[in-house]
Amino acid sequence: MKKISEEILYRGQWLVLKKDKFVNSKNEQVVWEAVERTHNSPSFGIIAKLVPSNRYILIKQFRHAINNYVIGLPAGISGPDVVNAVDLDNCILKELLEETGYSGTIQSKSPALKLNPAIMNSDFLVVSAQVDERSPQNLNVRQRLEPAEDIETILIEQDKIETFLLDQHSKGIDISSAVWFLAHNL
């Protein structure tokens, strides 16, 4: 495939909708709609594990795009002001603190992954974090939510995640694919 043109159909504060034209190997034109973020900063999901209890921190968050709650991982977008690895780590840990009230340490980060490359050009990082639940800052946790956020923190053992997800799904709550993968050690 070779891209031959791009038309911006809509540009908002966070997203751009565009129509791209390509020529395939048979010299046929192909039109494809795609979404991009207005800045190239990666988003991230945090697999946060409490120690010593070995429970995971999940969130139940209202998501405006689906007009429903979803069980997912603490997550965020790094933003254009993040210019180096230290800034990124600080951003990730700040998001964990804001959404869950917990302070942690980053154990590892994936390379830049594509979340939904069929329609979106966006990088996504999977971050592994450890949270010492005995640490003084984690004894009386308090979320620091933004006005558009409605988030409940859920602490759960890995072997109970699937049953919990199925129960939530039966109640009409949506499930993030990342949490399903976590439940199955994928």
Domains of the chain: 2-37 (no CATH), 43-183 (3.90.79.10)
Q: Is the CB of residue 73 less than 8 Å from the CB of residue 45?
A: yes
Number of DSSP helices (H) and strands (E) in the chain, helices first:
3, 13
Of residues 82 and 69, the one with the higher pLDDT is: 69
Where is 76: in which H helix or E strand?
strand 75-77
Please choose, from the candidates 53, 151, 51, 166, the residue with its C-alpha nearest in 3D space to the C-alpha of residue 98.
151
For residue range 137-153, list pLDDT tens digits in order: 999 999 999 999 999 99
Average pLDDT of the chain, as a whole number: 95
Greatest pairwise CA separation for the chain in angstroms: 64
Please choose, from the candidates 183, 170, 168, the residue with its C-alpha nearest in 3D space to the C-alpha of residue 60.
168
For residue range 101-160, list pLDDT tens digits in order: 999 999 999 999 998 899 998 899 999 999 999 999 999 999 999 999 999 999 999 999
